Amino acid sequence: PLIAALGYEVTYFGTRHIKSSLVRALLAPGLWLQRLTTREPDDTQLEVALSALKRVVEIDHVEEAAQASS
C-alpha cells in the first residue's frame, strides 16, 4: 500500500508539472518501462501464451477427473 501510494503521488505530481524538463527526465524511465510492458504481443508471443493456456486447462481437467474418481 505504501509503495502504491507513493507511486500515485509521484505520477500525480508529474502530471501537474509535465512542462518541467526535470520532472520529465525523472519520470522517463518509468514511462519507458510502462511502454515496454503494455505493448501489444506479436503473433509468436500469442502462440506461446495460447499453447501454455491449453496445457494448463488439460492438466486441470485431468486433476478434476482424478478427484472425481477418488
Domain residue spans of the chain: 1-39, 41-70
Q: What CA–CA distance (Å, rounded) separates 13 from 2?
A: 16
Tens digit of each residue's pLDDT (9 = 90 or more) over 34-67: 888 888 999 999 999 999 999 999 999 999 999 9
pTM of the model: 0.49
Q: Name the amino acid, one letter, at 2.
A: L
Contact between residue 32 and residue 25 where contact means Cβ atoms under 8 Å apart: no
